Amino acid sequence: MKIQPFHLAIPVSDLEQCRKFYKETLGCGEGRSSEHWVDFNFFGHQLVIHYKAPEDNPSAHSNPVDGKDVPVPHFGVVLKWDVFQEFSKLLKAKGVNFVIEPYIRFEGEVGEQATMFFKDPCGNALEFKAFKNMDQLFAS
């Protein structure tokens, strides 16, 4: 089956700050927009940020993975290995504050992957990962 682009819509409490983050920090091309939402080309997928007033009591959840607190919920994309390496260097150079610094999981094992987590300016958690062997994306 051919993988098709996905569509994801997320809430943000500061539309302009997040617009700048996705456009300038992550390098996503901007598409259509209004005063309440903005479309982005998120690595070949459609991401739409929608304005939503901030909540009084936002809750942050995480699950332990490899001794690290993985934020839940989160979203992101799987990149090619070399693209991940360059992208993580770019994010470090831009001063992105990582929730989980880029690291290698399952090194030398089935499913070896690079992963990193960070949040957008409104607290949406993003994960970017890359598999050493892309054929192992769904390996168990």
Phi, psi at 127, each rounded to 5°:
-120, 130
Q: Flag whether pLDDT at 57 surpasses 70.
A: no
Is the pLDDT at 113 greater than 90? The verdict is yes
**Do 63-140 and 1-53 fall under one CATH topology?**
yes
pLDDT for the residue 101: 97
pLDDT band (50, 70, 90) for residue 1: low
- Tokens representing 137 are 């994306």
CA–CA gap between residue 6 and residue 14 (Å, rounded) = 24
Q: Where are the domains of the chain?
A: 1-53, 63-140
In the numeric block, the tokens 């880029």 are attached to 102
- In the numeric block, the tokens 């090194």 are attached to 107
Rounded-to-integer distance, Cα 140 and Cα 7, Å: 27
CATH of domain 1-53: 3.10.180.10
∠ CA(88), CA(86), CA(45), 5° rounding? 80
- Confidence (pTM): 0.88
**Unique residue bearing structure tokens 């990962």:** 129
What does the pLDDT average to over 66-72?
89
- At 117 the pLDDT is 97
Domain 63-140: give its CATH architecture. Answer: Roll (3.10)
Identify the band that residue 56 occupies on the pLDDT scale cut at 50, 70 and 90.
low
Residues 113 and 77 sit within 8 Å (Cβ to Cβ) = no
Average pLDDT on 124-130 reads 96
pLDDT above 70: percentage of residues in the chain: 96
33 CB neighbour count, 10 Å cutoff? 14
CA distance 86 to 6: 24
At residue 93, the pLDDT reads: 97
